[in-house]
Amino acid sequence: MKAARQSKREVVAAFRTREILAAARRLMGLNSSEAVTMDDIAQAAGVAKGIIYLYFSSKNELLQALLSQTGENLPQDLEAILTTNLSPRDKLQQVLTLLVHHLERERILFSIYLPGLRAGEAGGGNITQEAWPVISSLIFSGLAPKSGVPCEVAQT
């Protein structure tokens, strides 16, 4: 079956979206997300400010798109770890390592991600939505009897 061919308009829209997001990412590497304006992003992307609003209705929508783009491969990476024959403890270690490396690579977006994580917002907690069920599952399977994971219950 032949893949559907994209129209010129779709190709241009995808290109512009990538260029706008790349410009926003570059600027946020230099300044905080609060300090970066849509005018700044437009100038860095080499487009008029109105063009940005054709693709993103607000700065918040643009930031959410940037976060979504950043976490696109995370579900596949998590799934690859989960399908290994490693112990729950080793899987948990690999998942946590993956998340730490992800945050290190994307540290410029952390100031955007963290407030959403605290507030429990869907866009801000993108990593959490994907990773928390995996982490909690691994923790509980690792704490199962005879799992080899030492667990002490504090006496009060």
For the chain, the maximum distance between any two Cα atoms, rounded to a whole number of angstroms, is 67
Say how far apart CA 24 and CA 8 lie, in whole Å: 24
Q: Tokens for 13? A: 């829209």
Q: What predicted TM-score, i.e. pTM, was given to this entire model?
A: 0.59
DSSP letter assigned to residue 57:
S
Mean pLDDT per 10-residue run, the chain (156 residues)?
77 91 89 89 95 93 84 81 88 85 73 56 51 66 54 48
Say how far apart CA 55 and CA 16 lie, in whole Å: 8
Give the residue from 82, 78, 74, 98 showing the smallest Cα distance to 141. 82
| Length of the chain (residues) | 156
User: Given this model, what pLDDT does residue 42 score?
Assistant: 96
